[in-house]
Amino acid sequence: MTSICILGSTGSVGVQSLEVARSLGLKVSGLSAYSEVELLAEQARQFGPAMVGIGDVRAEARARALFSRMSTPPELFFGPEGVSQVAAAAEHDLVVNAIVGFAGVWPTLAAIDAGHDVALANKETLVAAGSVIMDRARQEGVAIRPIDSEHSAIYQCIQGQGREAVARIILTASGGPFIDRYDFADISVAEAISHPNWNMGPKISVDSATMINKALEVVEARWLFDVDSEMIDIVVHRESVIHSMVEYCDGSIIAQLGTADMRTPIQYALTCPERVEGLAAKLDLSSIGKLTFEKPDLSRFPGAGLGHEALRHKGVVPAVMSAANEEAVRLFLHGAVRFVDIVDLVMEAMESSPRIEEPSLDDIVEADVWAREFVRGRCRSCTR
Ligand code: MG
C-alpha cells in the first residue's frame, strides 16, 4: 500500500488531499500544519500517522496537551526543522506539499533529498526557487507532480509526448471575482476571497482576484515543464471547464476538461499515470452549452502580466514578486492596505529588486526577506 505524507494538511488543499487519500485507501504516514493543532489532532485521530509536524513553535504546549490524550499518539516534531524532518522520514512513498507560501521550500527540498516523489501544491516554492528545486529533483531522480489545477492539466496533456513537440502552453484563467468590475476602489476582504468557481484558501483567492495567481503560474509552468516564458500564454476562460491546454508543433491543441474541483488534480498527482474513479462530479457539457475565451485585460489586471516580466529579469525577481505578493496579501487580509495596493506594491518591489544572475538558495532566501521588508516599509505610506 502506498504511504503518503501530507504537509499543510489543515489548509484547503490539505483537507481535500486527506479526502482523496481516504477514498483511495492510502496509508497516511505523516501530517503537518502550521498552527491549527485542533484540526490536526482530529486528522491524526482519523488517519493515524506515525509522525506529525507543527510549524509554529508557539503551538507546542497546546499540541502536546491535545495529542497526549490520544490512545496511540504520533511522534511530534516542532518548528520549520520539525516539518522538514517529517517530510524526510523514510516511510513515505510520496510527499504532498500543500503548505502555502515560501515556507514550503525547506520541506520540499528535504523530501527530494530523502528520495521521495513530491506532489506539489505549494506554488510559491517553484516561483521563488524553481531552478534550485528542479535541479535537485533531477539529481535525486525524483518526480515533481503538480497539484495546481492548471499545471495538472498541462501535465496530463503532455503524457506520452516528447518535450520537443510542445509549441505553446495555454494557461486558462477564470478571471476571478472582479473580471467585470472596473472600479477597484473599496474592494473588501470578503469580496476578494469569494471566488466564483473554485473553493480555495484566502491567499490563493486574493491572488485569483488580482490575477497575480496567473503570474505565479506562468513562472511555475516555466520550471515544471522547462519552457521559455514566451511559450506560455494566458487566456481568460470564465467557465473554468478547460483547466489548461498544450499546443503542439503540428497545430493540435490538447486540453484537459473537468468540473472545478481540486480533488481531481490532487487525485491525479497521487495515482498518475493510472486513473481511478474520482470524487468530483462529472462534467455535463450540454448543460454548460458554450465555452468562452478572451485575452486578459492587462490594463485592469496588470498582475496577470508580472510572471512574464519576472522571468525576463530572471535571477531573484520571481522570488521578489512572490514574496512581495505574500506580504501585500497578508497586509490586505489584515486591513492594512487596500486591494488596489497589492499589485502596486509587488511592482514597486520588482522594480527595486536586487539583480542577481544565477542566484543560490541563500540569495533567494535573502531576496525573499528583502521583499517582505520592502513591502512593510512601503505600507507605512499606504493610505490605510
Ligand atoms: Mg491554479
Q: pLDDT digits over 15-44, tens only?
A: 999 999 999 999 999 999 999 999 999 999
Query: Are 260 and 176 a contacting pair, CB within 8 Å?
Result: no
In the three-class reduction of DSSP (H, G, I as helix; E, B as strand; rest coil), residue 168 is classed as strand
The rounded Cα 67 to chain-centroid distance in angstroms is 29
Angle between helices 123-140 and 361-379 (to 10 degrees): 180
What letter would DSSP give residue 294? B
Bridge partners for 235 per DSSP: 172
The answer to whether residue 273 scores a pLDDT higher than 70 is yes
Distance 153 CA to ligand 1 centre (A): 10
Q: How many CB atoms lie within 10 A of CB 259?
A: 17
User: Using only C-alpha atoms, what is the Rg of the chain?
Assistant: 20
Neighbours of ion ligand 1 (CB under 5 A): 148-150
CA dihedral for 105, 81, 115, 113, sign (positive or negative) = positive
Kindly state the average pLDDT of the residues 146-156: 97
Distance 150 CA to ligand 1 centre (A): 5
Does an H or E element contain 203, and which? helix 202-210
In the three-class reduction of DSSP (H, G, I as helix; E, B as strand; rest coil), residue 233 is classed as strand
In this prediction, residue 198 carries a pLDDT of 75
Angle between helices 79-88 and 105-113 (to 10 degrees): 30
Distance 58 CA to ligand 1 centre (A): 31
In this prediction, residue 384 carries a pLDDT of 47
In this prediction, residue 196 carries a pLDDT of 74
In the three-class reduction of DSSP (H, G, I as helix; E, B as strand; rest coil), residue 237 is classed as coil
Q: pLDDT tens digits for 198-248?
A: 777 889 899 999 999 999 999 999 999 999 999 999 999 999 999 999 999
Kindly state the average pLDDT of the residues 34-59: 98
In the three-class reduction of DSSP (H, G, I as helix; E, B as strand; rest coil), residue 1 is classed as coil
Distance 307 CA to ligand 1 centre (A): 14
Torsions phi, psi of 286, nearest 5? -70, -25
In the three-class reduction of DSSP (H, G, I as helix; E, B as strand; rest coil), residue 208 is classed as helix
Query: Are 34 and 52 a contacting pair, CB within 8 Å?
Result: no
Distance 177 CA to ligand 1 centre (A): 15
Distance 149 CA to ligand 1 centre (A): 5
Distance 67 CA to ligand 1 centre (A): 34
Residue 74 to residues 30, 39, 69, 80, 249, Cα–Cα distance (Å): 9, 15, 11, 18, 52
Torsions phi, psi of 74, nearest 5? -75, 165
Distance 73 CA to ligand 1 centre (A): 35
Distance 171 CA to ligand 1 centre (A): 9
The answer to whether residue 382 scores a pLDDT higher than 70 is no
**The three grid cell numbers given for residue 294, joined into one nine-digit string:** 478572451
Query: Are 80 and 58 a contacting pair, CB within 8 Å?
Result: no
Query: Are 96 and 72 a contacting pair, CB within 8 Å?
Result: no
CA distance 79 to 124: 20
Q: pLDDT tens digits for 302-352?
A: 999 999 999 999 999 999 999 999 999 999 999 999 999 999 999 999 999
pLDDT band, residue 300 (cuts 50/70/90): very high
Does an H or E element contain 140, and which? helix 123-140
Percent of the chain clearing pLDDT 70 (strictly above): 99
Average pLDDT in the chain: 95
Distance 129 CA to ligand 1 centre (A): 18
